[in-house]
Amino acid sequence: MSSQNIYILGIESSCDDTAASVMLNGKILSNVVASQKIHIEYGGVVPELASRAHQQNIVPVVDQALKKANIDKSQLSAIAFTRGPGLMGSLLVGTSFAKSLAYGLGIPLIDVNHMSAHILAHFIDEEGFNKPPFPFLAMTISGGHTQIVKVNHYFDMEVIGETIDDAVGEAFDKSGKILGLGYPAGPEIDKRAQIGNPKAFKFTKPKVDGLNFSFSGLKTAILYFIQKETKENPNFIEDNLNDICASIQYTIIGILIDKLKIASKQTGIKHIAIGGGVSANSGIRKALKDGEAKFGWTTYVPKFEFTTDNAAMIAIVGYLKYLEGDFAEQNVIASARLKI
C-alpha cells in the first residue's frame, strides 16, 4: 500500500480555526488556516459564533488547500478529520463535511484525535526537524489542555499527567486579562517577558501530587497581588508590565519543567517532545532546549506552523492510519471530550 501515491486531505475544526491540508506520502503539499478574529472583542472563543464561521469558511478553505496542492479532489486517497476533543458545534461542521465528501468521492474516512495529532505532528516529513524515537514523552500545552503523555507508538499513548483545573493557555489568558491585555494574551506576555526581569516578582507554584498540574491557584495569586499593588500605586501595572509578564511566564514555565523532570526520572525516558499552541512560546522552547544540557534530554520542538491548530497534523495522523487500514464508518460522530 505504501508504494503508491497516497493523497490525504486533513480537516481541522475543533475550536476557532478552520483548516485544511493536503499531504502526499507524509509530505505537506498545502496547509491552509482561516482564523476567526470575531472572538477578540469578547475576550475568548464564543462557541456559537465559532461554528457559524466554520460553516462559512470550510468550503473555500478546502478548495484553497486542493488548489495549492495542485491536485483535483478525485485524486484523494482518503479524508481525515478531527473527531474531538473540542467545541461540539465546531466539530460537527468538520465531521459532517468530511463524511459527506468522503461518501461522495467513495473514499475512506479517517477520524483523528486532536490531542494525538499535536503529538504526531512531529512525524511530518520536514527538512531540519528530527522525529522522536519510541518511547518518548510528549507535553501537550494549549488553551484547553495540559498533558504529559508517554508515547510508546503512533497509536499507543498513555496520559500520565494532566491539569486538574485550568490549562496552561488559560493561565496566560486569564493573567493577561488581569493585566488589561487583549485576547489571546499569551503572545503579548511572551513578547514582554523577553525584555522584563523574570525574578522581579515571586509567585508561589501550586503543589499538586504526582504529574498533574494546577493553574487556577496561580491565577488567583496573581489577581490578589495586582489588587494589592495597584491599591498602593494605581500605575503599578503600567510601570512594571514587562517585569510582571516576565515573572508570570517564568513561574508557568517552572511548573511545566518541574513536572517534566519528574516524568523523565520516573519513566527513564530522555526524549522529550512538545506540541500544542502554547509550545510556540519562546520561553518554553528555550527552557526545553536548556534541559538538554541540564538533564541530558533530547528535545523535539515542532515547526512553528504545526504548533497552533492546523490540518497538517490531522493529515499526518490520517496518513499513518491509512497505512494501517484503520478507517472510520460513516456513522462516526464527533466527541467533544474525546480522550487519547
Query: Has 5 been labeled as part of a binding site?
Result: no
Residues in a beta bridge with 151: 136, 157
The span from the CA of 32 to the CA of 94, in Å, is 14
The response to whether 309 counts as a known ligand-binding position is yes
- 173 annotated as a binding-site residue: yes
Do the annotations mark residue 247 as ligand-binding?
no
- Establish whether 10 is an annotated binding residue: no
Q: Is 242 annotated as belonging to a binding site?
A: no
Whether 326 has a binding-site annotation, put simply, is no
Considering just the CA atoms, what is the radius of gyration of the chain in Å?
A: 21
Q: Is 190 annotated as a binding residue?
A: yes
Q: Is the peptide bond before 187 cis (omega within 30 degrees of 0)?
A: no
Q: Is 63 annotated as a binding residue?
A: no
Is 44 annotated as ligand-binding? no
SS3 annotation, 11-38 = EECCCCEEEEEEEECCEEEEEEEEECHH
**Was 140 annotated as part of a binding site?**
yes
Any binding-site annotation on 281? yes
Residues flagged as binding site for substrate: 140-144, 173, 186, 190, 281
Residues flagged as binding site: 114, 118, 140-144, 173, 186, 190, 281, 309
Residues flagged as binding site for Fe cation: 114, 118, 309
